[in-house]
Amino acid sequence: MQGAQTEKVPREYGLPWPDYELLDAGDGKKLERWGAVITIRPEIQADFKPGWPYDQWLEMAHWEFEEQSTLQGSWKSIKAHAPEQWLISYGNLNFGLKLTKFKHIGLFPEQQANWRFIKERVRAGQKVLNLFAYTGAASLVARDNGAEVTHVDSVKQLITWANENQERSHLSGIKWVHEDALKFAQRELKRGKQYDGIIMDPPAWGLGAKGEKWKLENHLSGLIETAYGLMNPGAFLILNTYSPKIERADLAASAGRYFSAKQLEIKQLWLPAKTGKELYCGNLLRAIK
């Protein structure tokens, strides 16, 4: 997806906050600060030269993730006694982070762009559905605004993690659903349920709650169709795509069957680094019904 970095298209940036910043990126890796802990992780989109020499990265970092396959790997300790689990905050929300064998540690920081959007739009009493909801950051932002939130993920451990984040943030009342996100949404549609906001951050590929294989490009149209059917008039839809097989044109074509051009915005999502580098993080679709 090298062309994604030169194509002149609208961009939206996930911005740093006191407990997170992308320090640098390049040579297929990214250097990030999470509170007081600094990590080095693989990043396929960092196909450019970094701003700082790698020796400087190693002087700063506590952990580096080393891939052992395309699916998983292990963390190498760079500094003695570095924590394997720790807490960071975003506003008055608190998140537990930890090292996992999949290189992720519990937040996708580029989603700060969507947290801002949710914070601006969601009002108390509105119903929000968060599909493929991971560790619950978007759910917590919506719940903190007073929304009635339904959080759906096919991985039970992630729901547990999200609930722990709810408790850490002194919130309650999120409805947890351990289920295949699309199947749950389709059943909600049959039940005649309606929502004021739908958030979808689907993986490019993965496994469902019962081990079903998932490829986003095979389900994109169905996801958008189902979301449209669940939306109240004036409701919003957020859809992120990280799949290299889904271009902005694919999003526009699928969403254009249901939303007019005035109702839609399709952008690229980026993270700015402290060194001035910029990291492409996928495509972002937002729609208002």
pLDDT in tens, 268-279: 999 999 999 999
Average pLDDT over residues 16-35: 98
pTM of the model: 0.93
- pLDDT > 80? residue 236: yes
Please state, rounded to an integer, the average pLDDT across all residues of the chain. Answer: 93
CATH number for the domain harbouring residue 142: 3.40.50.150
Show the domain range for 283. Answer: 2-288
Number of domains in the chain: 1
Cα 129 from Cα 216, distance rounded (Å): 19
pLDDT in tens, 160-192: 999 999 999 999 999 999 999 999 999 999 999
pLDDT of residue 208: 62
Cα 147 from Cα 123, distance rounded (Å): 6
Cα 143 from Cα 149, distance rounded (Å): 6
- pLDDT > 70? residue 27: yes
- pLDDT > 90? residue 227: yes
User: Please, which pLDDT band fits residue 2 given cuts at 50, 70 and 90?
Assistant: very low
User: Please, which pLDDT band fits residue 213 given cuts at 50, 70 and 90?
Assistant: confident
Going by C-alpha positions, the residue among 271, 238, 224, 243 that lies closest to residue 107 is 271
Residue 282's Cβ-count burial label (10 Å; 0-12, 13-18, 19+) is buried
pLDDT of residue 209: 59
CB 168, CB 92: distance < 8 Å? no
User: Please, which pLDDT band fits residue 3 given cuts at 50, 70 and 90?
Assistant: very low
